[in-house]
Structure 1
Amino acid sequence: MSTRHQQHIEAPMSVKIPADVDQPDKILYGLTTRQLGILAGTAATGMWVFLTFSPLVPFPALVAVLVPVTAIGIVLAVARHNGMNLDRYVLAALRHWRTTKERVTTAGTPVQPPPAWCRMRGELPAPLRLPVRAIRQDGALEVAEGGVAVIIRTGTLAFGLRTSGEQAGLVAVFGRWLNSLDAPAQILVQARPVDLTGLAEHISRHAPALPDPELERAAGEHAAFLTDLGAEHELLIRQVLIVITGHTSGASRAATPALPWRHTGRHRVGRDAAAAVAMRRAEEAVQSLTALGVPAEALDAKSATAALGEALSPSEPHLVDNSLLNDVIIHQQEAF
Structure 2
Amino acid sequence: MPKTHTGFHGVYPMIYAYFDAEGGLIEAPVKASVEAMIRHGVHGLAVLGLASEVNKLSRASRLQLLDWVSEANDGRVPLSVTVAENNVAGQVEFARLAKERGANWLVLQPPPVSPIDESELLAFFSAVIDKVDLPVGIQNAPQYLGIGLSNAGLRELARRHANFRLAKTEGSAVAIARLVEETEGMFDVFNGRGGFELPDILRAGAAGVIPGGESFDVFVKVYDAMRAGQAEEAERLYREVLPLIVFLEESIDHLVTYGKQVAALRLNADAGKPALPSTVCTPFGMAAIRRFADTLGKL
Common fold by TM > 0.5: no
Q: TM-score range by the shorter chain?
A: under 0.3
The structure number with the bigger radius of gyration is: 1
TM-score relative to the length of structure 2: 0.24
Hey, which of these two has a bigger chunk of strand by percent? 1
